[in-house]
């Protein structure tokens, strides 16, 4: 096996292969490590020994080399560089050799045998199993992320976390069945203090302003007390309460109570100004949208004319001109009227005891139906008998059938088969041997990949028919599932982590420099990005449309932020944007530009690193521990950021990485730290000249987009890798690279549609297969040897 590389690339390869080749008799060290041999200068290097079959570490090295060649990061900047054709030929030669090695010795990788449901997956599973929406953030802690996603390191279940799951199961079971409460229950919803409540809130009726809309499940029919507290300033005065206002409480969009909000006679004493803001309402059991809002005052000059900012929540800089809701407390039921007819009761109590059906038999049928979905497979009589004693014990205690079913449901929700996804090696497979997954495992992988939830009845039926092992069936099921509303989990779960949109909640730009930033704008930024990607998925368009698009999604708040006219109201809608608007693809979204900035300024370093890691798949190595931050370098803070970073790059240890990151980030300097377009910074024209590794320089975001689209395989490969990590729940290994390349090649033939990437993933060897353990394994299925 021989590989010939251009001499310029070979010189860069030497530094990477030297540690691997040290001491190898079959390798002529002088030819490579010193790069002085004439054959090297002619481009004739023989790396046969480095490509020996079975040398996994050496394949790893060559995959790193291929990645750097493909990214045009080898040779380093400033060295003699080959032409584009030589780069392409070298990459093609190396790719062919590596793919041949993997094909001869396939290694699909190994996932943990036990993987706990993440908090998001748990909430979605409860929704699909019981028809019950619960706020899992109130029940379970957040999961730690690894390799960019929170579904990777989920093999552990600590005692404290187990307690949380037990408590959650009991609460959910009571709510699902509607068991009578010994005393009224209470729930408190607190509104973020940085939400502006001067305008209409999406989801609430037109003609209202401010307030909030929350999903709530009433446990039983009856009366409930809704109590509202208003936002106060540091002097304990209610903000904006200078005149009377009318407040409405709505259930499912229908007004059920009205309250008057009046300023007290003593304007300096608001102690009891909101003490009587409570109403007793009649509600039926089950889920509903509960809204609390104010009627809009169209005659308020202060609201419409006298405030220069869209954001109005900061008492000193841009105070509220109208009252705002701080907290809502829902207590009940009072005058209990029974459990009612709820979606969860219809699922848990589908069979009831009667003349022809004993309580135990009815419970057996209910448990069997629940287990089929909860355990994600066809169930046996033995499975049912494991759960039935929980019903029998509770039923025998007080003769209450529903109390018995509540106990059985709690047992299901804390069972290993529900809380964990299990993949076990077949008994007849030798250690360290690839094997094909069964239909049950494939169904779970598919549903948690695309829905972050349980397989539905269609998938479980496919398991029973044993057809999911057919790649064509996997593709058919995947395309069906992408059209289901539950595929929205790909956006809320995968995309929010891939693009760092989850970080938006922790971003608070400096209020003195960016006084018009509030949570309303933060949420609008996030939604614009989510809607763009949702459109690509739903319409099955090319994923390259994420980079360049003449369309975006705006509401009035975001349109004003962008300076785009003629967009009114809180509703988001698709808008065609002209080139001069400087909006469209992901790199022009305020969400991305904000999470890659500091609180006081932009950061070309963070932006460049973000693009290299998340869009191009070639992140630079972490900085050395002794490298000072930019603020610690003795450079005037009044200098433009380009000149300040130039001083940083004068350090040799910094230059190698910053020469890659900084030019990319500079291309986005026309956008400030919250994504607004600018031509000047502190009176100085913005210099947005940038470059991608191995390319000529360009100016601005348009040039950056053009450079990325000219070699689209880099973005498509990176998105594929991110999707595959998320789908498998493990980090990728060098042995996965061949599968990624095949997915990208196949998708490129049909225009890189999103469904093509998904189809390639679900039919790939890493998704359909698994490597058996190499010896003794721990309780999570990890090889201990």
Of 78, 5, 105, 194, whose CA–CA distance to 734 is shortest?
105
Quickly count: other Cβ atoms within 10 Å of residue 623's Cβ.
Answer: 14
pLDDT at 43: 38
Return the DSSP state at 633.
S
Of 368, 335, 336, 374, whose CA–CA distance to 350 is shortest?
368
Chain segment 212-243, per-residue pLDDT in tens = 999 999 999 999 999 999 999 988 999 999 99
The answer to whether residue 5 scores a pLDDT higher than 70 is: no
pLDDT at 76: 66
In this prediction, residues 296-308 reach a mean pLDDT of 56
- CA–CA gap between residue 332 and residue 514 (Å, rounded): 43
- Backbone φ/ψ region at 731: left (φ over 0), alpha (ψ -120 to 50), beta: beta
Quickly state the pLDDT bin for 77 (edges 50, 70, 90).
low
In this prediction, residues 337-354 reach a mean pLDDT of 95
The answer to whether residue 653 scores a pLDDT higher than 90 is: no
pLDDT at 629: 61
Quickly state the pLDDT bin for 44 (edges 50, 70, 90).
very low
pLDDT at 31: 32
Q: At which residue do the structure tokens 């509903």 appear?
A: 288
Quickly state the pLDDT bin for 66 (edges 50, 70, 90).
confident
More confident site: 722 or 33: 722
DSSP 143-160: PPPBTTBTTSS-----HH
- CA–CA gap between residue 26 and residue 58 (Å, rounded): 14
Edge to edge, what strands does the sheet with 325-338 contain? Answer: 185-190, 325-338, 221-230, 278-283
Chain segment 78-92, per-residue pLDDT in tens = 677 778 888 888 888
Least confident of 16-30, 45-59, 285-299: 16-30
- CA–CA gap between residue 725 and residue 729 (Å, rounded): 6
Chain segment 161-172, per-residue pLDDT in tens = 999 999 999 999
DSSP β-bridge partners for residue 290 = 214, 251
Chain segment 417-431, per-residue pLDDT in tens = 999 999 999 999 999
pLDDT at 675: 97
Of 657, 672, 671, 662, whose CA–CA distance to 697 is shortest?
662
The answer to whether residue 434 scores a pLDDT higher than 80 is: yes
pLDDT at 92: 86
- CA–CA gap between residue 670 and residue 582 (Å, rounded): 10
The answer to whether residue 438 scores a pLDDT higher than 90 is: yes
Segment holding 114, helix H or strand E: strand 114-116
- CA–CA gap between residue 94 and residue 3 (Å, rounded): 7
What 3-state class would DSSP assign to 189? strand
The answer to whether residue 562 scores a pLDDT higher than 80 is: yes
The answer to whether residue 522 scores a pLDDT higher than 80 is: yes
The answer to whether residue 283 scores a pLDDT higher than 60 is: yes
Return the DSSP state at 783.
B
Chain segment 591-650, per-residue pLDDT in tens = 999 999 999 999 999 999 999 999 999 888 777 666 666 555 555 556 677 777 776 666
pLDDT at 631: 52
- Mean pLDDT of all residues belonging to the chain: 87
More confident site: 33 or 773: 773
Strand segments (E) across 682-735: 684-685, 689-690, 698-699
Half-sphere exposure at residue 524, Cβ-oriented, CA atoms within 13 angstroms:
29
- CA–CA gap between residue 455 and residue 246 (Å, rounded): 47
Quickly state the pLDDT bin for 654 (edges 50, 70, 90).
confident
Residues 6+ apart with CB under 8 A from 550: 576, 577, 584
- CA–CA gap between residue 664 and residue 673 (Å, rounded): 16
More confident site: 3 or 188: 188
Chain segment 720-730, per-residue pLDDT in tens = 999 999 999 99
pLDDT at 3: 54
Percentage of the chain exceeding pLDDT 90:
72
Residues 6+ apart with CB under 8 A from 163: none
More confident site: 774 or 363: 363
31-35, 146-150, 647-651 — most confident range: 146-150
pLDDT at 298: 64
- CA–CA gap between residue 345 and residue 333 (Å, rounded): 18
More confident site: 98 or 303: 98
- Give the helix, strand, coil percentages of the chain, each rounded to 5: 45, 15, 40
Quickly state the pLDDT bin for 52 (edges 50, 70, 90).
very low
313-327, 582-596, 644-658 — most confident range: 582-596
């Amino acid at each position: 096996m021989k590989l010939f590389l251009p001499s310029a690339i070979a010189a860069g390869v030497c530094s990477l292969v030297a540690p691997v080749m040290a001491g190898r008799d079959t390798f002529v060290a002088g030819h490579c490590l010193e790069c002085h041999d004439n054959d090297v200068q002619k481009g004739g290097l023989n790396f046969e020994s480095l490509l020996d079959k079975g040398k996994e570490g050496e394949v790893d090295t060559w995959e790193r080399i291929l990645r750097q060649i493909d990214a045009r990061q080898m040779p380093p900047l400033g060295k003699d560089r080959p032409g584009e054709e030589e780069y392409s030929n070298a990459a093609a030669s190396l790719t062919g050799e590596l793919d041949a090695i993997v094909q001869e010795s396939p290694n699909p990788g190994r996932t943990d045998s036990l993987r706990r449901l993440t908090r998001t997956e748990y909430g979605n599973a409860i929704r699909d199993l019981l028809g019950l929406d619960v706020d899992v953030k109130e029940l379970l802690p957040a999961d730690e992320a690894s390799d960019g996603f929170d579904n990777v390191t989920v093999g552990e279940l600590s005692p404290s976390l187990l307690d949380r799951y037990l408590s959650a199961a009991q609460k959910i079971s009571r709510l699902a069945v509607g068991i009578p409460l010994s005393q009224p229950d209470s729930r408190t919803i607190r509104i973020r203090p940085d939400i502006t409540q001067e305008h209409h809130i999406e989801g609430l009726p037109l003609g209202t302003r401010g307030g909030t809309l929350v999903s709530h499940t009433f446990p039983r029919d009856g009366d409930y007390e809704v109590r509202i507290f208003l936002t106060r300033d540091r002097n304990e005065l209610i903000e904006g309460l200078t005149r009377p206002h009318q407040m409405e409480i709505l259930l499912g969009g229908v007004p059920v109570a009205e309250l008057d909000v009046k300023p007290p006679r003593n304007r300096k004493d608001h102690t009891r100004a909101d003490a009587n803001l409570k109403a007793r309402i009649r509600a039926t059991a089950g889920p509903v949208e509960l809204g609390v809002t104010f009627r809009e005052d169209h005659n308020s000059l202060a609201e419409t004319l006298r405030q220069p900012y869209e954001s109005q929540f900061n008492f000193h800089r841009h105070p509220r001109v109208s009252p705002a809701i701080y907290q809502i407390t829902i207590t009940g039921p009072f005058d209990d009227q029974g459990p009612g007819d709820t979606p969860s009761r219809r699922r848990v109590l589908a069979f009831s005891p009667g003349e022809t059906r004993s309580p135990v038999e009815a419970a057996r049928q209910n448990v069997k139906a629940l287990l089929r979905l909860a355990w994600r497979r066809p169930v046996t009589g033995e499975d049912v008998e494991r759960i039935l004693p929980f019903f029998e014990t509770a039923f025998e205690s007080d003769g209450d059938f529903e109390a018995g079913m509540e106990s059985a449901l709690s047992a299901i929700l804390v069972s290993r088969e529900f809380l964990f996804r299990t993949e076990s090696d077949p008994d007849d497979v030798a250690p360290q041997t690839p094997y094909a997954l069964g239909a049950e495992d494939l169904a779970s992988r598919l549903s948690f990949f695309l829905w972050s939830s349980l397989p539905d009845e269609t998938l479980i039926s496919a398991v029973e028919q044993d057809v999911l092992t057919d790649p064509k069936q996997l593709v058919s099921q995947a395309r069906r599932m992408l059209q289901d509303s539950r595929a929205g989990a790909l956006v809320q779960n995968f995309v929010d982590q891939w693009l760092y949109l989850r970080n938006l909640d922790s971003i608070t730009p400096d209020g003195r420099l960016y006084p018009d930033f509030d949570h309303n704008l933060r949420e609008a930024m996030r939604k614009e990005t989510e809607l763009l990607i949702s459109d690509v998925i739903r319409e099955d368009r090319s994923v390259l449309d994420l980079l360049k698009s003449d369309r975006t999604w705006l509401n009035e708040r975001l349109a004003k932020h962008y300076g785009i006219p003629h967009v009114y109201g809180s509703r988001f809608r698709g808008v065609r944007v002209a080139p001069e608007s400087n909006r469209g693809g992901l790199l022009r979204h305020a969400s991305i530009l904000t999470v890659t900035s500091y609180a006081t300024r932009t950061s070309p370093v963070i932006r460049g690193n973000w693009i290299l890691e998340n869009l191009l798949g070639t992140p630079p190595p972490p900085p050395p521990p002794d490298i000072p931050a930019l603020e610690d370098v003795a450079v005037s803070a009044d200098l433009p950021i380009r000149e300040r970073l130039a001083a940083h790059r004068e350090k040799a240890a910094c230059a190698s990485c910053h020469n890659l990151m900084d030019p990319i980030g500079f291309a986005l300097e026309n956008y400030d730290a919250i994504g607004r377009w600018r031509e000047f910074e502190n009176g100085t024209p913005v210099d947005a000249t940038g470059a991608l590794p191995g390319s000529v320089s360009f100016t601005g975001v348009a040039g950056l987009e053009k450079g990325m689209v000219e070699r689209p395989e880099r973005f498509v490969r990176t998105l594929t890798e991110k999707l595959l990590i998320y789908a498998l729940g493990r980090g990728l290994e060098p042995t996965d690279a061949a599968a990624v390349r095949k997915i990208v090649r196949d998708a490129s033939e049909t225009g890189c549609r999103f469904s093509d990437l998904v189809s390639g993933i679900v039919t790939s060897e890493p998704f359909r297969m698994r490597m058996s353990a190499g010896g003794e394994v721990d309780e999570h299925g990890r090889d201990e040897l």
